[in-house]
Amino acid sequence: RHILHADLDASYAAVEQLDNPDLRGKPVLVGGTSGRQRSGGHGFVRSPRVRRPFGNAHENAVRLCPQGIIVRPRFQRYRELSKQVMDIFRSFTPLVEPLSLDEAYLDITERVQADNRAPLRWALRLKSQVSLETGLTVSVGAATSKSVAKIASDIRKPDGLVVVEPGDERAFLEPLGRDRYGVLAKDAEKLGGSGRDRNVGQLAQQTKEWHTRQFGKSASASRPRPWVRTGTK
């Protein structure tokens, strides 16, 4: 299979900068109340001083980016642009699996097989079309599975593109830190600071029984989700 994971970069903050030119090039935190007043909720940050856009608990976002301009969220506007982006995705393939307002999986296997174009060309075309039609940037990972494509899309944010060729999955995953492979903070605490477990390759060498002891029965579970053909634009 040929799978893309497409993820808009700091989408809420990016939309605010798109709609308000005065915010462009400035650190923006979406959440709480406008201005510089701090409050609860979630923060979505886009800042030239922060290494990469991110979503975080509001209080953590403020701590990491204290100079940020806080903007109230406009979810109706985000939903409008989300629909536009998802329509673009569906113009590429009917096999689209949205994960949230700003990210989705696309199965482009039929497209690749039909015209013999490499996934890289489809990914570049997707990024270009999203940017042209919405003004937003999207990071894309291409791989033979959803999980690898999702990790790949996160490697070079913002506006990134990483293609993992068939057969290169192990070489791509093994050097990555455990945080890249969905090991949550509470699970990382169980692993401790042992060098034996510091990257994906070393974790992969452990037995299924070891993972079950560390993380519970769900560690060895597999619950694939079926693709649903949603139609094209």
State yes or no: pLDDT of 199 exceeds 60.
Answer: no
Distance of CA 64 to the CA centre of its chain: 20
pLDDT band at 183 (very low <50, low <70, confident <90, very high): very low
**Strand, helix or coil at 44?**
strand
Q: Which domain holds residue 44?
A: 11-71
C-alpha 210/C-alpha 34 separation (Å) is 48
Average pLDDT over residues 150-179: 87
Average pLDDT over residues 158-178: 87
Q: Tell me the residue length of the chain.
A: 233
* Residue 230 belongs to a domain: no
pTM here? 0.74
Do 162 and 190 fall within a single domain? no
Of 221 and 169, the one with more pLDDT: 169
Name the residues annotated as catalytic: 103
Q: The tokens of 101 are what? A: 């307002």
CATH of residue 66's domain is 3.40.1170.60
Domain boundary among 168, 186, 202: 168
Do 192 and 139 fall within a single domain? no
